Amino acid sequence: MNALPMLVRGRNSLANALPVIAFAAATAIMCTVLAGTGAFYGRLGPEGFDPSSANASPEAQIMPMLVICAVFACVLLVPNAIALGGAAARLSLARREKDLAAVRLVGGTRAQVAGVAVSDVAWQSIVGAAIGVGVHIAAAWPLSHLDFGIRKFTVGELILPWWALALTPFALALFAALSAAITLTGVALSPLGIARGAHTVRMSVVRLLVWVLSIVVFLVVAAFLPKIEGVSLGAIIVGVLVTVGTMVFAVNLAGPFIVWIVARFAAFLAPTPGLLVGARRLTADPRAGWRAVSGVTIALVVAGFASIITIFPNGDAVAQLMNQALVTGALLTVGIAAVLAAVSTGVTHTARVLDQAPRYRAQHVAGASVGQLHRARIAEIAIPVGISLVVSVFMAALVLLALMGSSATNPLVAVGFLVSVVAALGLVAASALVSSPLVARAARARVRAAD
């Protein structure tokens, strides 16, 4: 514990800020989405009330469908917000691997290393969670002004209960500690290898098979569950939600394997040094390469689902009310997914530059210009982005065709999704530009020190 302050002081302020930002964004998004789902659920009628009866108001008639859509948004967003929190814990620990390995090499026990590592991650998660809870509370007022066509939500409805807000920092600290403990296994087992930077990347094809299996299960559920007699509409919707959520989880499991395979081929066939170096970096750490674009992938999948709303026709008063509520909800969901993607992409790219600073310095001293380093980094970013676009288009098209049939080929759907793709590319480009100055600073740092 006496070593912890020295380890923290030895890290620059940006390295400390990145995990806190990720924890804060994950907490704010998770709390906001859960509170919004609870707000819609609170508007349901009393038990036994039939929303399709003649006496039901238009709001009461559409509320069950809105609750289902809110739960669907939770299935898409909350797991990825939690994953961002886990990535923040690993990000914090990864930057301390060599320091912790040094503690092991000079005689520190596994328990001592674990105590230092978990304490380091825990304080960052608590600070980030506290900031995220504050952002969640502050966002409730502007969100209460959104027009869903129904009675507007109050600020109190869009904020989690006080006990949930109080428990959130401690729950996130526990989750971060568990993620850190899992990541810490490498330090405990092979401190000398980590101190020397001798990481061995192992990618199993099982990752891809899990994703393929989840797709098969979804197609079976979407094709045959509605045809089974006696199955209620609610059971069909729950089955579709569960299988779609499983696919979202599985694509993040398969993503690093796909990046690893594509990067190996790109390195083998690379016609330029920049592409060769960028691909080699990805093969050395495909998980980090995929983590940088996983948020964009989910945002594009959400945008594909949201584009369905553009083909809903207007009918009677209830249909118009439903259309307005769904359009507002779809835009809000895409906006939250975009924020999640922006934070995930920006934090991960910046962290990768900080982690690779010694390599940038070594390559620059060896003769590589700053422009060549930038081109290698662009290749390192472009390969996962291209994979992300292909995967997200495939998943969105698969779900739309399975659920909507020929209606999914409406040109308005394609236009809406194309706009989302362009916005996603702009998001990635912006995140790359934000961290680009760090490349030049890292490359020239050793030159100035040598002078």
- How large is the C-alpha radius of gyration of the chain? 24
Is 4 a member of any domain?
Answer: no
Is 451 a member of any domain?
Answer: no
In the prediction, which pLDDT does 184 show?
62
- Token pair listed for 372: 């060549």
In the prediction, which pLDDT does 189 show?
47
In the prediction, which pLDDT does 403 show?
67
pLDDT tens per residue, range 15-67:
677 788 888 988 999 899 999 888 888 877 665 455 555 566 777 777 887 88
Per the structure, the count of domains in the chain is: 2
Is 99 a member of any domain?
Answer: yes
Residues 6 or more apart whose Cβ sits within 8 Å of residue 361:
442, 443, 445, 446
Whole-angstrom distance, CA of residue 388 vs CA of residue 328 = 26
User: Chain-wide mean pLDDT for the chain?
Assistant: 76
Give the model's confidence band at 92: pLDDT under 50 very low, under 70 low, under 90 confident, else very high. low
In the prediction, which pLDDT does 91 show?
67
Whole-angstrom distance, CA of residue 198 vs CA of residue 177 = 25
Same domain, 180 and 209: no
Residues 6 or more apart whose Cβ sits within 8 Å of residue 320:
149, 314
Same domain, 89 and 208: no
Q: Which of 199, 224, 254 is the last residue of a domain?
A: 199
Same domain, 49 and 143: yes
In the prediction, which pLDDT does 405 show?
61
- Token pair listed for 31: 């709390």
Same domain, 86 and 113: yes
Phi, psi of 422 (to 5 degrees): -60, -40
Whole-angstrom distance, CA of residue 299 vs CA of residue 429 = 15
Same domain, 307 and 353: yes
Same domain, 56 and 189: yes
Whole-angstrom distance, CA of residue 442 vs CA of residue 273 = 20
Is 18 a member of any domain?
Answer: yes
Same domain, 411 and 301: yes
State which residues form the domain around 279: 203-444
In the prediction, which pLDDT does 404 show?
63
Same domain, 92 and 186: yes
Q: Which of the listed ranges 21-30, 319-328, 393-402 does the model predict with the highest average pLDDT?
A: 21-30
pLDDT tens per residue, range 365-378:
888 888 888 888 88
Is 327 a member of any domain?
Answer: yes
Whole-angstrom distance, CA of residue 301 vs CA of residue 255 = 14
Is 2 a member of any domain?
Answer: no
pLDDT tens per residue, range 97-138:
666 666 666 676 667 777 777 777 788 888 888 999 999 999
Same domain, 95 and 243: no
Q: Which of 175, 199, 223 is the last residue of a domain?
A: 199
Same domain, 183 and 238: no
Give the model's confidence band at 349: pLDDT under 50 very low, under 70 low, under 90 confident, else very high. confident
Same domain, 317 and 338: yes
Give the model's confidence band at 447: pLDDT under 50 very low, under 70 low, under 90 confident, else very high. very low
Same domain, 425 and 298: yes
Is 148 a member of any domain?
Answer: yes
In the prediction, which pLDDT does 449 show?
43
Q: Which of 159, 178, 199 is the last residue of a domain?
A: 199
197 dihedral zone (left: phi>0; alpha: psi -120 to 50; beta): left
